[in-house]
Every structure is written in C-alpha cells, then in structure tokens.
Amino acid sequence: MPCKCRVSSARMTPAFPLLARAAEALPHREGMQSVFKEDLMRGRRLRAWIVASGFALMTLGIGPAAAEPYELTKNDVMDPKLFKSTDISLFGVKLGDPESKALDILVNEKIPGVKVEQEATFVLLLDQRKPTGPMAGVRLLDGKVDLIFINNRFAFKARGIFRSVLNSESPDEIRKLLGKEDFGDENVMGAAMNYEKLGFVVNYLGKDVNVEFTVPQ
C-alpha cells in the first residue's frame, strides 16, 4: 500500500529565498543579448587579427624561397632561383672573403688533386692530373675576393646545376638550365650571356665554357 507522505511547508520555506536570489543572479534577456554580441565582436576582432598577422608574416619572411648555400664541389643545387653569386663558394671561398682566408684555404691548405699557382692578382687552380690550364680560381682585389671563375675543365669536380652548364653543347642548352640571360651577345663564334641580377656571366665558345661570378649589380 503506497505511503502518503506530507511535506511540511515550513521545510520548503527556506528554499524560496535561495531560488529567488539565484534567479536574480541570472542575466536578463537584454543582458544576455549584449553579452552574446560582445563575444561575437571579440571573435570577429580575433579572426581579423589572425588574418592580419598571417599577412604580415607572409610579407616579411614567407614568400619567395630563401637563398641556398651552393658549394660548387659539394651541393646539388639545381634551381637557379635558389641562389645568387654571393651564395656560391669554391672550396669554401666566397665573394667578399678577405685575401688571407682565400690564401689559407686555396694555397696553404693542400686540396687533393689540385695544383695551385699564383699569377698577379689571381689564384689559379689546375687539375693535377692534366695541368694544361686553370680549371677554376679567384681574383684578389683590395684585399678581398672580388671574382670567382670556373670552366669546363672543372666539370668533373662540379656539382649541381653548374656541372650541367659546364658540359653544355650550345647556348640554348645553357638557357634551358639557367633561363634567359638579362643581356648578352651571340654570334657564330659563341655567346656571352650575362645574368646580371644573379651575379654571373657565362661565356660559351665552342667546347669552352667559362663562368665568372661577381657581386650582383
């Protein structure tokens, strides 16, 4: 038989003030709408800040591919957009290096398979097996390296895109590798192709290919 329980109204009375205070603590409809609007505006401002920050990052640092170091005897860099002449090094010697550093590396330290000669302002590197002429070298001017050169005799030591350039059999082959030169001169004897923005000139004369690196203008 079900129990008939009676709840005293005296025991319920203390709960009403608590409920009333809780109800007063809840935001009114208009207040809730203003809170929602404020949160929405904050969200919109946050999204706008994120977009602006991302654009700033793209403008400052992210965008064109960063330059890549290119040691001619080691790195397999194949994209001409990834380097300029100032990123090029020959056995560790770069444009702008002090004369003392160039002499230490190229003359005082013995490079295996390389014969070194000094002539006027040039340090010339020859293939020790066939020292018929220089295969690479640097020019020292005003106490610094201001020019680096390589030619087709250096092809067996070269890596990356310039290995292919030195083995090219026509100016058009060179253009396929490096793109169109900024300006130059071409005739039946050969071509001088100046990539001024990248800081080097390619001279093509039959089977003789020579590349000269200088600081970009």
How sure is the predictor about 38, in pLDDT bands with cuts at 50, 70 and 90? low
With beta carbons less than 8 A apart as the criterion, state whether 171 and 181 touch. no
pLDDT classification of 46: cutoffs 50, 70, 90: very low
pLDDT in tens, 169-198: 999 999 999 999 999 999 989 999 999 999
Label residue 45 by pLDDT band (50, 70, 90).
Answer: low
H or E stretch covering 50: helix 29-60
Helices (H), 13-28: 15-25
Give the pTM.
Answer: 0.70
Query: Which of 217, 78, 69, 208 lies closest to 149, judged by CA?
Result: 208
Among 1-10, 42-51, 87-96, the minimum mean pLDDT is found in 1-10
